[in-house]
Structure 1
Amino acid sequence: MKANGHGVELTCGVLREQGVAVTSRSYRAWKIRAAAVRTRSDAVLLDRLKALKARDVQGRQQPEILYGRRKMTAWLSRGEFAGVSKHTVDRLMRLEGMNGLVRGRKPRSSVSTGKDSARAPDLLKRNFSAPHPNHSWVTDFTYVPTWGGFVYVAFAIDLYSRAIVGWHASTVKDTLFVEVCLNMALWRRDNAGHTVQPGLIHHSDAGSQGAFNWSSQHSDHGGIRWDVPQVG
């Protein structure tokens, strides 16, 4: 503002008219006052983090920049930032949008089999309601992170009551994994006095791993009609 010919008093006056309560005395005091200790320490640490982010050796970045906040804190503590707080590192890395490398691939609970793959006809036609129990089931499986790794959980839902009639958990997603889920559902309904009658619609997505959409090998399960919607 000074370069454009505007003095401090005039500028502060305009700011006050716009609702910014600042006086020329406050501005001059701020200008000569030393920065806070936290501001200076944050600036030094940010410079170090940015230097790591920009470093490149033979086209590959240094492994330090791939650390998460916990490992980055430990790495900094072993160097010139002994005793640095993990909360400070977390705050500054979050401010800069820096994240550690996530190793391994994210589990995928469903992969499309493609347009040319044979699949059962779509019997529900997006009508997710049922006139009575055991008219139609919707099945799928997902993954749940645990301390020991990812666990896959399959489940079957009765569209009439929205009750989960069968489920199963496993560390692998294979045919047996989902078959146990369906067997449990059939067994539970039978023992609850609601035996599955011929004509039950079994609806699942068009994923390839789950084997929920297989029909010819297991079409004798209670007279179930298998239903797989179109992709998308």
Structure 2
Amino acid sequence: MTQAIFQAAESEEKRLKEEGKRRLNVSGVLRILGVSRSGYNAFRKHTPSAGQMKREQRMAEIGTIYEESHEIYGAPKIAAKMRQKGGNVSGRSVWKYMREMEIRACYRKHKTRTTRDSDFSSGLKNILNRDFQPQRPDAAWCTDITYLWTCEGFVYLASIMDLYSRKIISWTLGETLETKWVLDAVEKAKAERRVTQPLVIHSDRGVQYTCRDYGEATKGMERRYSAKACPWDNACIESFHSLIKREWLSWFRITDYSHAYRLVFEYIEAFYNTVRIHSHCGYRSPGKYE
């Protein structure tokens, strides 16, 4: 508290001097506050120690990384970013600094809805068996649809992820749950990756993923499906849809389709794929990992 008083008095004295106004009667102010003049003079002549300067530098760096992440990163990710820049700091130390700075990873909870199970999904097989660690790009993709609320009604995000890097290789935003949006996402993924080898494409059992048109669009790929009422089989893409909602979309009052599209584009293309670090990728972004 005393240090804060000293800083306030010094700041006011400098301001008045710069403005060419009458000098502040510091002695009178300090007397009212019950602080000695000698203590104030000692504070003005004090030189920060090396430890204090290092501490302030780290807190400034933490604040910068935190702001650049849209206030999403917690202590482990911030510590990883600092180490990438040549620093030597532990996650626990960063956590202590963040607690002192009164900042923490921010996100909002959201309600989750899933697609209805297809009436034609009996006999579908799951050969992925929750093996989410392929050894090369384009060995296994996963895909799903999620609901996004806007003031004009729901819109639907269909995404395809490469499990090797967790990169979103294609996505579409539809105004209905028609299969055409899923097919568009598949065609975009094929064009983007120029796939030459057979790959596994995993999804849930929604009608969009078990219909004939989807079968035609994924011809040459091994189509595999989650077990009924078992979202953990498609956990990676489910996790991504949870991230985009709680880290980004839940902070906005989304007005309409166009607004939703801009927000999704900004998160996926300008942050998630290119900037946001991922523990699976050794605390690199999916783009850098690939």
TM-score (norm: length of structure 2): 0.37
Give the structure with the higher percent strand: 1
TM-score (norm 1): 0.46
Which protein has the larger Cα radius of gyration, Structure 1 or Structure 2? 1
Q: Which has the higher helix share?
A: 2
